[in-house]
Amino acid sequence: MSIQYPNGKRYRTNQQLNKPNASIAYGGRGMSFEADIDESNQFYLMKEKAVIHKKPTPIQIVQVDYPKRSAAVIKEAYFKQASTTDYNGVYKGRYIDFEAKETKNKTSFPLQNIHLHQVNHMRTVVRQNGICFLLIRFFYTQEVYLLDAPTLISFYDNQKERKSIKKADIETYGHMVHTGYQPFVDYLRTVDELYIK
């Protein structure tokens, strides 16, 4: 049985990834965007700066094989419900909630990457005065932008005019996020500038 992630990509072991002819690029450090954010969140937690975690995706297990008691194998499972956003937590006494997406598109961010239930979730977070945004990484340039939820919602609601957000608009209305070593994606620096006065 092969395991497929929700984005359709197949799970690969470290051994498979280290093959010389593997054609997978991981942002210059051998990691995906979400892995970079996870590392950043661990750094923030270790420094007692914030408590932010990736939300688990709820699944319903349907069939399990037990060849040995210590080696149960899930054969069939389904997502219980549509997930909301990728991350949530607490920062400086404020609720924080965000989605993270990476695109290989060089000139825009396709709005099909965001789903209506996620946008509606963001609306409710904003109404409750929570900090809510989208982090976008452009794969080829490795640039990361923070687009606050009200701006994203506005673009999403106007999809009849355009099915994507131009990179030029993201550069205008979004905010560049500092990237480096520790943390990899220092999005809280940008959160401080925008939301924490």
Binding residues for Mg(2+): 84, 86, 99, 118
Of 151, 133, 136, nearest in space to 101 by CA: 136
- Residues annotated in a binding site: 84, 86, 99, 118
Phi, psi dihedral angles at 188 (to 5 degrees): -70, -25
Provide the residue type at 160 as one letter.
K
Q: Which residues pair with 138 in a beta bridge?
A: 103, 143
- Four-point Cα dihedral 143, 177, 148, 105, nearest 10: 10
Phi, psi dihedral angles at 144 (to 5 degrees): -120, 135
| Contact partners, residue 138, CB within 8 Å, separation at least 6 | 102, 103, 105, 106, 144, 145, 167
State the Cα–Cα distance between residues 144 and 32, nearest whole angstrom: 13
